[in-house]
Amino acid sequence: MSKAGRSELSTELREYDREVQLLKHGCSVLQWDQETYMPPAAAEERAEQLGLFETLVHDRIADEKLGELLERAGASPENPMGSEDLPPRDRALIRVLFREHRKARRIPRELVGRMARAASTGQTVWRAARAENDFSAFKPQLEELVALAQERAELLGYEEHPYDALLDQYEPYMTTAEVTRVFEELERGLVPLVARIAEAPQIEDEFLYREFPEEVQKQFGTRVLHEIGWPAARGRLDRSTHPFTISLGRDDVRITTRYERAFFNSALFSILHEAGHALYELGFADEIRGSALADGTSLGIHESQSRFWENLVGRSRAFWTRYYPLLQETFPTALADIEHEAFYRAINKVTPSLIRVEADEVTYSLHVILRFRLETALFGGRLTPAELPDAWREESRRLLGVVPERDADGVLQDVHWSIGGFGYFPTYALGNLFAAQFTEALEQELGPLAPLLERGEFAEILAWLRRNIHAHGAARTAAELVLDITGRKLEGEPFMRYLHAKFGEIYALQ
Footprint of a second copy (CB under 8 A): 19, 22-23, 25-26, 29-30, 32-33, 37-42, 44-46, 48-49, 52-53, 56, 231-236, 238, 248-252, 254, 290
Of the pair 244, 323, the CB lying nearest a second copy is at 244
C-beta of residue 253 within 8 angstroms of C-beta of residue 234: yes
Q: Alpha-carbon distance 344 to 62, whole Å? A: 51
Of the pair 48, 286, the CB lying nearest a second copy is at 48
Report, in Å, the least distance between residue 221 CB and a second copy.
17
- Going 461 to 462 to 463 to 464, the CA torsion angle's sign is positive
Known catalytic membership, residue 274: yes
C-beta of residue 352 within 8 angstroms of C-beta of residue 377: no
Q: Alpha-carbon distance 491 to 434, whole Å? A: 8
Report, in Å, the least distance between residue 32 CB and a second copy.
8
Can you spell out the DSSP letters for 41-89? GGHHHHHHHHHHHHHHHHHHHH-HHHHHHHHHTT-BTTBTT--TTS-HH
Can you spell out the DSSP letters for 398-410? HHHS---SSGGGT
Of the pair 44, 78, the CB lying nearest a second copy is at 44
Integer-rounded Cα Rg, in Å, for the chain is: 23
Q: Alpha-carbon distance 122 to 109, whole Å? A: 20
Report, in Å, the least distance between residue 26 CB and a second copy.
5
Report, in Å, the least distance between residue 193 CB and a second copy.
42
Q: Give the contacts of 80 (CB within 8 A, at least 6 positions apart).
A: 94, 95, 98, 99
Name the active-site residue from 178, 274, 361, 375.
274
Of the pair 26, 456, the CB lying nearest a second copy is at 26
Q: Alpha-carbon distance 359 to 311, whole Å? A: 12
Q: Alpha-carbon distance 405 to 139, whole Å? A: 18
Report, in Å, the least distance between residue 93 CB and a second copy.
19
Q: Alpha-carbon distance 309 to 228, whole Å? A: 9
C-beta of residue 253 within 8 angstroms of C-beta of residue 231: no
Which among 385, 372, 399 is positioned nearest to 171, based on CA atoms? 372
Of the pair 24, 317, the CB lying nearest a second copy is at 24
Q: Alpha-carbon distance 265 to 258, whole Å? A: 10
Q: Alpha-carbon distance 285 to 276, whole Å? A: 17
Report, in Å, the least distance between residue 16 CB and a second copy.
13
| Maximum distance among all Cα pairs of the chain, rounded to whole angstroms | 74
Report, in Å, the least distance between residue 34 CB and a second copy.
9
Report, in Å, the least distance between residue 330 CB and a second copy.
23
C-beta of residue 428 within 8 angstroms of C-beta of residue 303: yes
Of the pair 74, 290, the CB lying nearest a second copy is at 290
Of the pair 115, 255, the CB lying nearest a second copy is at 255
C-beta of residue 418 within 8 angstroms of C-beta of residue 121: no
Q: Alpha-carbon distance 132 to 140, whole Å? A: 16
Can you spell out the DSSP letters for 155-182? HH--SS-HHHHHHTTTSTT--HHHHHHH
Of the pair 214, 251, the CB lying nearest a second copy is at 251
Residue 345 Cα distances to 355, 505, 506, angstroms: 21, 10, 7
Catalytic residues: 274
